[in-house]
Chain A
Amino acid sequence: AQRVTQPEKLLSVFKGAPVELKCNYSYSGSPELFWYVQYSRQRLQLLLRHISRESIKGFTADLNKGETSFHLKKPFAQEEDSAMYYCALSGDTDKLIFGTGTRLQVFP
Chain B
Amino acid sequence: NAGVMQNPRHLVRRRGQEARLRCSPMKGHSHVYWYRQLPEEGLKFMVYLQKENIIDESGMPKERFSAEFPKEGPSILRIQQVVRGDSAAYFCASSPYSEGGYTFGSGTRLTVV
Contact = CB atoms under 8 A, between A and B. Distances in A.
A69 interface: no
B104 A96 contact: no
Given A86-B43, A99-B42, A100-B42, A44 B99 contact: no
Given A43-B107, A44-B91, A96 B101 contact: no
B25 interface: no
Main secondary structure of the interface of A (DSSP, over half): strand
Interface string B58-85: 0100000000000000000000000000
B29 to A, nearest CB: 13
A47 interface: no
Interface of A: 4, 6, 32, 34, 36, 42-46, 49, 86, 90, 93-101
